[in-house]
Amino acid sequence: MTIPLLVALAIFALLLAVLKQRRLALAIGIATGVAFLAIGYGLLARPLLANLQDGYDSDVRAWGSHNAIILLGAGSALTEQRTVLPGTFGYARLVKALQVYHACRAHSGDCKIIPSGGDTLGYGKAEAQVFAALLTSVGVPAEDVLVEGRSVNTWQNAQFTAPYFAEHHFDRAYLVTSGTHLRRAKLYFAHFGIETTPVRADYGRAIATPWPHSWNFLLTDLAIHEYLGIWRYYVYGALGWNS
């Protein structure tokens, strides 16, 4: 997201220079260079990430009588053996959901995990099914795994998970996803009447290096994606477009 934008600005500055608009070309060129350094050194990512993921916990200390642990997908990957595995960020979410589940079972008799995510890339298997197979393979009883395999985005995660709450009468919901994703996901689930306790599965941190680092560009892109999703929700709400 940010790299294509910076490349486009650099090309635009070159075109302006060719067209003899040297002052404007210089200004855009300097701004592009400053933006590149600010992103590459993590100066932009740090405040953006802090506002998204700080203040959330990684542990759960209060339980209800009927508990739902919502595990959001993070994409999937098709291996060379044609098997489908969770995406890069999915394993941290899976491990955290397992931790929450076992802590829940130690305090309450009714604990269900709801893996949520469809077949977004057309691999023939929903993300939720991949998660469910891994959960049962490490000892989670199949009856404690409720698969939501239709959703293709965070909005649909919330929309298609909501019927389980009407059916099972959960009184507590724990939302397990990446730290950067928690704020937007919680907002979307609240829209469908599901008040959640966010549980952070991972934490993104910009790194300091002697040169601009690609990891900081990735984190900046992730943060911007989340802010756009949050802003879109409020804009759509003002226009009456949220279902």
Question: pLDDT (tens digit, 9 = 90+) per residue, 21-69?
Answer: 999 999 999 999 999 999 999 999 999 999 999 988 778 888 999 999 9
Specify burial of residue 88 (Cβ count, 10 A radius: 0-12, 13-18, 19+): exposed
Using the structure block, give the residue that is written with the tokens 């979307």. Answer: 188
> What's the whole-number mean pLDDT along residues 3-10?
93
Percentage of the chain surpassing pLDDT 70? 100
> Using CA atoms, how far apart are residues 74 and 154, in angstroms rounded to an integer?
10
- The set of residues, in sequence order, having a beta carbon less than 8 Å from that of 49 and lying 6+ positions away, is 179, 180, 204, 205, 206, 219, 223
CB 159 within 8 A of CB 189: no
- What is the structure's pLDDT at 59? 82
Write down the domain spans for the chain. 2-52+213-239, 61-200
CB 31 within 8 A of CB 204: no
CATH number of 61-200: 3.40.50.620
The residue with greater pLDDT, 83 or 109, is: 83
